[in-house]
Structure formats: C-alpha cells, structure tokens
Structure 1
Amino acid sequence: MGRASALVRVTAAYVIAVLAGLAWLVWGPGSGRAWLDGLIADLIATVVIFVASRIYRNSSFYDPYWSVAPPLLAFYWWIDAGEIADTARWWLMMVIMLVWAVRLTGNWIHTFTGLRHEDWRYPMVRERAGRFEIAADLFGIHVFPTLQVFLGLIPVYVVATRAGEAFGVLDIVAFVIGVGAVTIETVADLQMHRFAATKSPGQVMDQGVWAWSRHPNYFGEVCVWLSFALFGLAAAPGSWWVLVGALTMLAMFLGVSIPMMEQRSLQRRPAYHDVVQRVSVFVPLPPRKRAA
C-alpha cells in the first residue's frame, strides 16, 4: 500500500471517529455537563481509532489524534456555552491551539511513510503485555494519552465556559509562552528534517536548537500546555487545579518519553554519549564545552 492510499485510510478512520463522537453529542442522552459529554465523545472517537489500528495492525493510527481532537473539543465547549468566554482571552488561546494543531498534524503528515511503519514504542508495549496485549494496546497506547490530553484541556474548558475576569497580564504571559513554544517546536522540526535528509550513518543532531536541548520539541510541547493552563488560571484566578494537566504532561515527558528516547539513542548511536555530556536534556541552555 502506497503512502497516498495509507493517508486516505487514516483520514477516513478519523472522519468516522469524529462523526461517532459528534453523534453522541447530538443524539446521545447527554449528562448535563459539557465537559463530561466531551470526554465521552472523545473516548468514543478513540475507540474508533483503536478499531482501525487493529484492522490495519498499526497503532500509529492514533498518532495524529493528539493534535486533531483538542480544537474540536474546544470549539464544542465554546459553542455549547453560547459564546460566554471572554473574547480576547478565548481567541488568543485558540490562535495558539490552532497553530499548534496544524503544525503538529502537518509534521506527522510530512514524516508519515505509510502503514508499514509503526512507532517503535508500540510493539514494545504490546510485547511486554504478553497475552494482555490487546488491553495494553487499547488502554496504554490509545485511551491513556486521550485522558492525558483531556486533562490538559481542562483549562481550555474553563476559558470557554467562564466569563467575568478581566483580560490581564497573565493572559499576555500565557500568549507569549504559547508563541515561544510553537516557535521552538517549528524550528526544531525544520532543523531535524534538514538533518535527516543529509545525515551520515551514526551521525547525531547537535546543531541549532538541538545544541541547546536534546529534546526541544518536548520542551516546546510542555510549554504549549502550560500556556493553556495559564489562560485557564487567568479565567479562574486561584484555581490552581487548572495546572494539573500541564504538570502531568511534564511528568510524562521527563519520566517516560525522554528516558525511552535517550536509551534508544545511546544504544543506536555511540556518538550520542558526547551529546549527553554537552547538551541539556530538556530545558534549552547554552551547550557545555567538549572535554579536553
């Protein structure tokens, strides 16, 4: 199956998933709580993508979901609330979200080579689960990240459904952080694409923003969710629980994603040992000098 045909199949699965979630929102019994209805629709759509991933034996069907679902949920909450949200705060936040979503989805499309390729972590998760591999696939690879992202969207729900707090300095800080985060991610992606197209076997990336952080894309991703959290805090001052989603994102990247990537890079590229000695693992910092 060619790349174009594979993209058509993935797109079709996402259309069906979105329609299934929308069907729940329109014709389902409803809970009377927009956040809960959104969560149920989100999980329904996730199960549709899970079924598609099982049919095609490739759990990377789920990869675009991370950036496709958030704008849809955000606009559902905003429409359901009847435009209650503070206009300036809402649209500044949505500018960040839409640019982030388009960038991340576009980057996935750019790197998508077809259904023969699957993220190397997914077979590892299934193999470690043994006879429970279906459960690991459903809950570990599909449902867990959906819940993780939903937790990060709680402040977005707050912004969409609460009004009354004046636009202020915290909103500006949130917007600046969001712009900076998306910029870092975009630059990191472009630099990595150029490197991947010209690198020699075993060569490691330590140029541009990658000379300041070994995982600038993950740093930018956490900052995007921090931006949403700060917008939520601006809409509901004192509600520190809106930061929980961003904190769990940070914990996931620092505790799971980065260690897995580090181990794989050290095993596959001996030169990466030198990069570890010189370049910050997460927060961008000036690179250290090579040892004499």
Structure 2
Amino acid sequence: MRQNRIMTSTQNSWTRPRSFLLIIALYAVALTGMLLIASAIGTDHPVKGLIVGFAASVAFLYLASQIVQNGSTFDAWWSVIPPVFAIWLFFVLDDADAFTDGDLRRLAVAVCATLWGLRLTANWAIGWTGMGHEDWRYRMLYETAPMPRWAVSLTSVHLFPLLVVTLGSIPMAIVASHSGRSFGILDILAVVVALTGVTIQQFADLDLRRFNRTKKSGDVLNTGLWSRSRHPNYLGEMMWWWSLWLFTLAAHPAAWWAGVGALAMTVMFFAASIPLAEKRSAERRPGWEAYQAVTPMVFPRLRKNP
C-alpha cells in the first residue's frame, strides 16, 4: 500500500507538458540508439539491425518506465516502430540507378505505415493526460498477476509487444528483400485494405472522443461505427496488419507464412484486448448486455441496429 502511494505521488507530480517533454526525450534517445545500432550492424543485414536496435530500445524504455513507475511511457512506441522499419528499409535498400516496381511497393508500404503511425500516435497524444495516467489494463495486471510489478511490466507491457510487433513487421522485411515482381492487383488491394483500416480507426476514435466529452456514468457508445461493431477501432487495426501480409504475397507468394505476424495480432485482440474491454464494460455500464445482444463484436453488420 505504501509503495502504491509513493508511485501515485510520483506520477501526480508530472504536469502534462512536462510529461510530453519526458516522452519526447525518451523516444529521441531510444530512436537514435536504435538507428545507430542498425547502422553499426550494416546495410548488408538491415533487418537484423532493426530487430536488434528495436530490442535495445525496448530495454531502454523498460528501464525508464521503472524509474518513473509508469508502464504507459511505452504506449506510443507501438505506433512509432513500424513506420521507422518501413522508411528505413525503403531508403537502405533503395536502388539509386532506377525506380523499380520493388521500390514502388516499398514506398507504398512506407506511406501506409507512416499514415497509420501518425494517426495512432496523434490519437494517443490527444487522449493522454500525462504521467498521472497509466493504462487500466496494466494496473489490473499488476494487481492480479502472481509476480512482482517489475516482472509484469517486463513480460506483459514490454517484451510481449516487442514480440508481436517484430512478428507483425516480418512482411516489411520480405517486401524489402524481394523486388522482382511487378506492382499489381494484390498491391492495390493491400493499399485499399491498409487505408480502409486507418480510416475506420480514425472515425471510430472521433466517435469515441465525442462520446467521452458528453457521456454520463454507465452510458454506452452505440452511435456511428459503434452502432455496427462493438470494437471498430480493433477491426481497423487488424485490417492494417493484414494489409502487410497482402504486400508480402504480392512481392513473394512463397512467403505466405509471414501472415503469422498478422495472425498473432489477431489472436492478441480476440484472446486478450477484446475480452478485457468487454469485461470492463459489462461491469461499468448497465446497458452493455442489451448493446452486446444486437451489435456484432468485431465484424460489422451492413445495417444499423434496430
């Protein structure tokens, strides 16, 4: 109990501007270190360099989170890394002699990743209140997991995202290293799926932000995209990761197995993120069961609820 009071006091001493300055400084150090490591390993092994650098950045941010006692210092790193991967691979493997179909595909991946990352990071920044806030899921894990807080933070908050983001980013490496196939229908489909996913996320988050400004205790969001799906934001997120797999099939069909990354993301949402959110909503919102009965969990119906 005394430790919790100390942690709360430490978190509450941070103003929002000061909190953002801390995150910017931490991420600048983490990103610089990551790219220096990738450069040191060399352009002959760009993917290895990125993965080792990413792991080092996670270790650094984990140590920082232990100092400030807040796992949410890591939250936005999730949306920073994939664009960095995509942009790095585009420039490192760029053919200076000619702009090929492989370059166009890598550029498409980099653009889609950047749009996704910018939108997700901006949404986090708008909603984040500062170091006084820590994700409710982390707090729940700290209280229920049969291990110390530092171990929960290491395994569940830092190492698990390291694993799933690395798996999810495998398609970028395959696209970057296979440039022989023409830019075609599968690439166009991948772009459409990626941008549709980002758009769904954006409108879902706008609906949620408007709802949060006026909601009363126990209210249920059942308008906009949320009238067709209970988790449209997660649907958009999964679509974006599966779009990377489509890019992989376009670049190198034999690497169909790279869908393991998007599959890992999907399993994470269906096995952990969605059940936790559903349980919390059922406990806090009296009208949740009625909403749940008429609204699909993820995949939307074409018509609005009756």
TM-score normalised to the size of structure 2? 0.89
Q: Does 1:114 align with 2:142?
A: no
- Tell me the equivalent position of 1:75: 87
Instruction: After superposition, give the CA deviation of every residue in 1:24-83 in whole Å (9 maximum; x if it has no partner).
Output: 22335x695322221110010011111111111110011101110111122222333244
- Tell me the equivalent position of 2:11: none
- Tell me the equivalent position of 1:218: 234
Structure 1 residue corresponding to 2:46, chosen from 34, 50, 69: 34
- Tell me the equivalent position of 2:24: 11
| Mapping for residues 138-217 of structure 1, pairs under 5 Å | 138-217=154-233
Q: Give the residue type in structure 2 aligned to 1:7.
A: F
* SS state at 1:238 partner: helix
Percent identical residues: 37
Instruction: After superposition, give the CA deviation of every residue in 1:245-280 in whole Å (9 maximum; x if it has no partner).
Output: 111111110111000000000001111111100111
Give the CA deviation at 1:287.
5.8
**Whole-Å Cα distance in 2 between the matches of residues 223 and 289 of structure 1?**
23
Give the CA deviation at 1:130.
4.0
- Tell me the equivalent position of 1:274: 290
**Whole-Å Cα distance in 2 between the matches of residues 248 and 284 of structure 1?**
22
Structure 2 residue corresponding to 1:44, chosen from 39, 56, 79: 56
**Whole-Å Cα distance in 1 between the matches of residues 89 and 104 of structure 2?**
17
Give the CA deviation at 1:105.
0.1
Unaligned runs of 5+ in 2: 1-13
**Whole-Å Cα distance in 1 between the matches of residues 141 and 59 of structure 2?**
18
**Whole-Å Cα distance in 1 between the matches of residues 291 and 150 of structure 2?**
37
Q: Does 1:24 align with 2:37?
A: yes
Asked if the contact 1:278–1:288 (Cα under 8 Å) also holds between the matched residues in 2, the reply is no
- Tell me the equivalent position of 2:268: 252
Give the CA deviation at 1:160.
1.6
Q: Give the residue type in structure 2 aligned to 1:228.
A: L
| Mapping for residues 55-134 of structure 1, pairs under 5 Å | 55-83=67-95, 86-134=102-150
TM-score normalised to the size of structure 1? 0.94
Unaligned runs of 5+ in 1: none
**Whole-Å Cα distance in 2 between the matches of residues 69 and 163 of structure 1?**
23
Give the CA deviation at 1:242.
1.7
